[in-house]
Amino acid sequence: MITAQELKNARENAAKALANAGIALTPAESANIEVADFGLSDLAALGLQLVTYINTERVCAKELVMTPWQCCPEHRHLEKEETFRCRAGVVYLYVGGEVNSKPQLQGLEKYREYLTAAQEVVLRPGEQYTLMPDTLHWFRAGAEGAVVSEFSTRSTDESDIFTDPRVERATRVEG
């Protein structure tokens, strides 16, 4: 759960980050930036701000905004294929497969058991990576935060499978 002030601040900061990355939003899009705390009430560590442009039966396009070191928890999508393209900052993407790194876990120690994928892919502005369906993954921004464009097949958040059983996709706001 987050406070109304946290929601307001997160939306404002995300709108600024998108503008700084050269991504223009309409006033309605700025006012409706989704703030996801994944039900863990720890937005600074585990969270994500996003704008969904389109989500039809066949395609989806989003902007994901992450504050410094913010993490999207480990999950997989049974049917969704998605491509992440870094627009600003650095993104550390961890996927299932051969371990090639020691994941960036500072500030995430209490979630360590739920961050198991350790094949690291580092994305810098202009770089992208495609995840096939049913690929276990999690990601986090670097020290400057990050803006990532996501292009995918249909997005159905309710069908995401999170490693941490405490995760709730819908954010609740106090009051």
93-135 pLDDT, tens digit per residue, is 999 988 888 887 999 999 999 999 999 999 999 999 999 999 9
What domains are defined for the chain?
4-162 (2.60.120.10)
pTM for the whole structure: 0.94
Residues 6 or more apart whose Cβ sits within 8 Å of residue 126: 85, 86
Query: Biggest alpha carbon distance in the chain?
Result: 45
130-152 pLDDT, tens digit per residue, is 999 999 999 999 999 999 999 99
Q: Are strands 137-152 and 60-66 parallel, antiparallel or unpaired?
A: antiparallel
* CA–CA separation, 36 and 10 (whole Å): 10
Which one, of 145, 98, 132, 96, lies nearest residue 117 by Cα?
Answer: 96
